[in-house]
Structure 1
Amino acid sequence: MGAKIDDIEYYLPKKIVNSSTLTEIFPDFDTEKIEDKIGVKERHIADDEETSLDLAYQASLRILNRTEKEAIDFIVFCTQTPDYILPTSACILQDRLGLSKSTGALDFNLGCSGYVYGLAICKGLLEAKIASKILFVTADTYSKYLHEEDKGNRSIFGDGASATIISYNETDNFGNFELGTDGSGFDKLIIKNGGSRNKIDASAEVKTYGDANKYTDNCIYMNGPEIFNFTINNIPKLIEDTLKKNNLQKENIDYFVFHQANKFMLNYLRKKSGIPSEKFHINLEKTGNTVSSTIPIALHEAIENGKIKKGDTILLAGFGVGLSWGATIIKL
């Protein structure tokens, strides 16, 4: 017994910030260099009144047009940018979608590894027969926490949401999971203010880091070099360990879908892990790094353009903020 993915959908906000827009804000913005290295030409950005829950709702509506709504008996919602500290966004989503009041609902806070962790949670719920058909949603609006003069992060991150239907299946289409954490690096990607430890500071000092990027402790801070080092030191081993845990070789994998962090990092990981380019997904061009939604968006794209076919064996890997990482094998 186990779990299978029935369907995947996603939603991107209508507002687009492209490279020419960023050049107007940052006159020294090297469009060609950024697009070539980071791989991003456009980012979809939520409006001021548009939230992660709104994006999740739209993604959910799209997928529920193809799904029997009455069969959904659990919502799992991954976000780091919830509408409220409390209550749980998944509870509000249940009501907005008109799902049964017998629907279970929970949020969890993870970023770039969130999709893989969410699949693990869903598999557990299904195997324990707590649920039979799950609406698994990811949504983040990092743009709301970026300093307006943070050129580096504004060139990378975009907003978006995904919705995945995962159901109980007699044949398990999910492999074994390999998950990990290094909380000693919690401050490498962080919003210091706004939680219980540090209140929002209306007069927070504007700080500079990297290539003249600016932020305050009310905003997202990312130590890019440290995140890169963490990734290259841990993710190739994660791939090896995941293959070993599933008794597979790289040659047995039809397609690899990693968290779409940035083009340079992905190419480095692909080469270091010895993965052929034709089996490896890189496409951030029109979305940017959408955090927990990059993997499902990539899966949707790869299915639509024929790179992933029914019955293919796919390795998924997510990694980043936390510091956190996770990987598994799936069949669609």
Structure 2
Amino acid sequence: MGAQIKKIEYVFPEVMITNEDLKKDFPDYDFERFEEKVGIKRRYVVSDDETALDLAEKACNKLFQNFDKQKIDYILYCTQSPEYFLPTTACILQDRLGLRKDIGALDFNLGCSGFTYGVNLANALISSGQVENVLLVTAETYSKFIHPKDKTNRSIFGDAAAATLISKTDDDNILKFKFGTDGSGYDKLIVKNGCSKFPLDSDAEQISYGTDNIYTDNHLYMNGPEVFNFTTKVIPDFVKEIMADNKLEINQIDQFVFHQANSFMLDFLRKRVKISKENFYNDLSDGGNTVSCTIPIALKRYTDSLEENKELTLGIVGFGVGLSWSGGIIKINNKL
């Protein structure tokens, strides 16, 4: 008995922001060079009264157009944009979706590695015989945490939600996964204020951390160079470990789908691991970096691009805030 990713649906908010739109706020920034290097043309952000949960509900209902929602046994809800500190947002989602009451529902707080963690958690629930259908939801609204004068993070991050159905199968289609954690880098990508350690500060000082971006401790801060250094140092060897644990060679993988952080980083990693362009997904032009949603969106787009259903062996790898990373091998035999 095993599990398989059966279906993915995703949604963006209605508000689209292009590079041309951002140039009005940052006229001295070279967005043509940004687009060429980072690969992002447009991103989508929620309105003031819209939340990650609203996006999650839409993504799930989109998935339920082709699956009976009463067969869902468990909700895994990955977000760093919860509706409240408590209760658990997954519980609210259960009610909004009209799902059965005899199901499990939990939140887990992870960012760019969240989807790969979630796939493995769903596989464990199913393979242990506890459930048959898991609804893995990723939903993020980083735009709510970004300072309006922070051109880098406003350029990179977008909001989205994805709903992934993972179901019981006769064969093992979710193979071995590996994980990594380095909490010493917790402050490399952080919203410092607003939780138990430090409350929100209405008089928070504007700071730049030596860059031409503007933040306060109430807002998202990313140390881009340090995050890049961590990723390029850790992930290439990590991918090789995943391959070794699954007794596979690089050329046996039909497509690698990494967290879609930015095109420059992805191409660097691809070359370091020696993966051909044809077998490596790199396209975040429409949507940008949507944190835990990038991999399911990429998987959906990749399989939709195929002319017909076919058996595929895919490598998925997430990495980022935490610092955390995870990845593994999955098999699918249908468009998602």
Q: TM-score range by the shorter chain?
A: over 0.9
1:257 alignment counterpart: 257
Aligned partner of residue 165 in structure 1, secondary structure: strand
2:195 alignment counterpart: 195
Identical residues among aligned pairs (%): 52
Whether the 8 Å contact between 1:263 and 1:282 is mirrored in structure 2 is yes
Whether the 8 Å contact between 1:9 and 1:162 is mirrored in structure 2 is yes
2:149 alignment counterpart: 149
Deviation track 1:145-186 (CA, whole Å, cap 9, x = no partner) reads 000000011110000000000011120100100101000000
2:83 alignment counterpart: 83
The one-letter code of the counterpart of 2:213 is: N
2:53 alignment counterpart: 53
The one-letter code of the counterpart of 2:323 is: L
The one-letter code of the counterpart of 1:110 is: L
CA distance in 2, matches of 1:178, 1:310: 26
CA distance in 2, matches of 1:307, 1:228: 35
TM-score by length of 1: 0.98
CA distance in 1, matches of 2:218, 2:314: 38
1:182 alignment counterpart: 182
Deviation track 1:244-302 (CA, whole Å, cap 9, x = no partner) reads 01000001101000000001000000011100001111111010000000000000000
Note closer, same or farther for the CA distance 1:309–1:281 as it changes in structure 2 (3 Å cut).
farther
Q: Aligned-pair distance for 1:310?
A: 2.6
CA distance in 1, matches of 2:309, 2:231: 29
TM-score by length of 2: 0.97
1:30 alignment counterpart: 30
Whether the 8 Å contact between 1:120 and 1:177 is mirrored in structure 2 is yes
The alignment covers a number of residue pairs equal to 332
2:321 alignment counterpart: 321
After TM superposition, list the pairs within 5 Å mapping 1:1-332 onto structure 2.
Answer: 1-209=1-209, 211-306=211-306, 309-332=309-332
CA distance in 2, matches of 1:90, 1:65: 20
Note closer, same or farther for the CA distance 1:284–1:170 as it changes in structure 2 (3 Å cut).
same
Q: Aligned-pair distance for 1:209?
A: 3.2
The one-letter code of the counterpart of 2:329 is: I
Mark the runs of 5 or more structure 1 residues left unpaired by the alignment. Answer: none
Whether the 8 Å contact between 1:18 and 1:41 is mirrored in structure 2 is yes
Aligned partner of residue 326 in structure 1, secondary structure: strand
The one-letter code of the counterpart of 2:124 is: G
Aligned partner of residue 143 in structure 1, secondary structure: helix
